[in-house]
């Protein structure tokens, strides 16, 4: 569904992504794991048209992806950004409606709103509440629900567990699996490597702008070097 080929991104003189290539198959969960500053969010933002890349190609459904963010959303890709970035002064329902701003199929929008409330019952309980007064976990649910309201085929999740309590993290990852069961394809950027690998089909390790490992997530989670670097053992360099 998505193919990133030899992507290079610079911030001034800093080479943030160095020839990064990834493939995302339809109906799969693909994870990008790595430490802070590895380039994970830069990769996501490059796909979404927020960060401009110097060279390389991004193909979506075998066609070159447009570089304008609104055209990317219209093509069937949505991003659930790091830090949630909800509209704090709008209600829960208004935030969800904003997710559907490029749509004009009223019945489809109503159907998706109902589905979002089924996935996130807490949001339905707070549908008239101002979003800025929600808890961190509820705001993450709202950000995910808002993304689903664009009716995407591919969802880019950027650090969905950031700042959440362990119990809520488990809830969010359970919901990610439910979203996959809806037929959605997911590209997941996540610092919680164990949780990410445990639900993913394939995964990539990004270190200082370079892919250093890739493959079946069930194999990577058992890899000794990855365990030492990301799963709580003594950190070693991945070569």
Cα 147–Cα 151–Cα 155 angle in degrees, nearest 5: 50
Instruction: Summarize pLDDT for 184-197 with one digit per residue, the tens.
Output: 999 999 989 999 99
**Is there a contact between 79 and 48 (Cβ–Cβ < 8 Å)?**
yes
Enumerate the domain spans of the chain: 1-76+155-161+189-239, 78-151
Domain 1-76+155-161+189-239 indexed as CATH 3.40.50.300: yes
With H, G, I as helix, E, B as strand and everything else as coil, classify residue 170.
helix
Reading the block at residue 87, the tokens are 């509209």
Beta partners for residue 207, in sequence order = 210
Residues shown for the chain: 239
- Does the pTM surpass 0.75? The reply is yes
* pLDDT reported for residue 32: 97
Q: Classify strands 202-207 and 210-216 as parallel, antiparallel or unpaired.
A: antiparallel
- Angle between helical axes of 106-119 and 92-99 (0-180°, round to 10): 130
Provide the Cα torsion 168, 191, 54, 30; round to 10°: -70
Distance CA 8, CA 198 (A): 29
52-88 confidence digits (pLDDT tens): 999 999 999 999 999 899 999 999 999 999 989 999 9
Residue 50's H or E segment, with its range, is none
């Amino acid at each position: 569904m998505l193919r990133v080929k030899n992507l290079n991104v610079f911030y001034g003189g800093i080479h943030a992504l160095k020839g990064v290539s990834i493939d995302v198959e339809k109906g799969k969960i693909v994870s990008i794991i790595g430490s802070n500053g590895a380039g994970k969010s830069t990769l996501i933002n490059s796909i979404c048209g927020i960060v401009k890349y110097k060279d390389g190609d991004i193909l979506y459904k075998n066609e070159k992806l447009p570089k304008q963010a609104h055209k990317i959303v219209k093509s069937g890709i949505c991003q659930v950004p790091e830090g949630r970035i909800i509209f704090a002064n709008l209600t829960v329902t208004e935030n969800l409606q904003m997710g559907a701003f490029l749509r004009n199929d009223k019945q489809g929008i109503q159907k998706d709103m109902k589905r979002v409330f089924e996935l996130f019952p807490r949001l339905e309980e707070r549908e008239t509440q101002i979003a800025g007064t929600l808890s961190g976990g509820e705001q993450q649910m709202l950000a995910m629900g808002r993304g689903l309201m664009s009716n995407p085929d591919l969802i880019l999740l950027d650090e969905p567990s950031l700042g959440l309590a362990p119990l809520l993290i488990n809830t969010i990852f359970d919901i990610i699996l439910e979203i996959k069961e809806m037929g959605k394809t997911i590209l997941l950027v996540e610092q919680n490597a164990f949780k990410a690998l445990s639900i993913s089909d394939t995964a990539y390790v990004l270190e200082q702008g370079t892919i250093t490992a890739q493959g079946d997530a069930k194999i990577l989670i058992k890899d000794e070097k990855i365990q030492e670097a990301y799963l709580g053992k003594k950190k070693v360099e991945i070569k």
